[in-house]
Structure 1
Amino acid sequence: MLTLTRSVGESIRIGEDIEVYVVEVRGGTVRLGFKAPREVAIHREEVYRQIAEANALAAEVAADALGALAAFAPESEQASSKK
């Protein structure tokens, strides 16, 4: 991990397109500002974990759900999927 020291008003660059600013330091809290292209997602760590967890749950498919969907498949597709 790279560790840098910056003061309020100073920034760091990540690649050519991302700039991170130190906006404020108060007690044990640091406020950061970001300049990045719209297509770059920026999330707090706890929000990122929730998104990743929700995506993992959404990707899971229950076996009974697959069975229910198979009932709607045409006969020829059901036979070829059993091979």
Structure 2
Amino acid sequence: MLILSRKKDESILIGSDIEVTVIAVQGDQVKLGIKAPKKVDVYRKELFEEIQNENVEASEITLNLSELLKNTKYRS
């Protein structure tokens, strides 16, 4: 992990097209501004993890449903 010190209105660059700027520091809270191309998704970590967990759950339901349908005999 790279650890950097930045003050208000100072930035870091990630690659050549993502800029993270310190907007404000209030107590133990830091507000960041992020400039990134529209093709780059930017999420808070906890939200990203929630999305990943929901995707795993949805895929498990789909797999279970597929197995159920395979094992079901259709009657005419």
Question: Do both proteins adopt the same fold according to a TM-score greater than 0.5, normalized to the shorter chain?
Answer: yes
**Deviation above 3 Å: which 4+ runs of structure 1?**
none
Aligned residue for 1:8, secondary structure, equals coil
Q: Could you tell me the TM-score, scaled by structure 1's length?
A: 0.77
Gaps of 5+ in 1: 72-83
Give 1:33's aligned amino acid.
Answer: G
**RMSD (Å), alpha carbons:** 1.9
Q: From the CA coordinates, give the structure whose radius of gyration is larger.
A: 1
Give 1:4's aligned amino acid.
Answer: L
Gaps of 5+ in 2: none
Q: Could you tell me the TM-score, scaled by structure 2's length?
A: 0.83
Identity among equivalent positions (%) equals 42
1:7-26 aligned within 5 A: 7-26=7-26
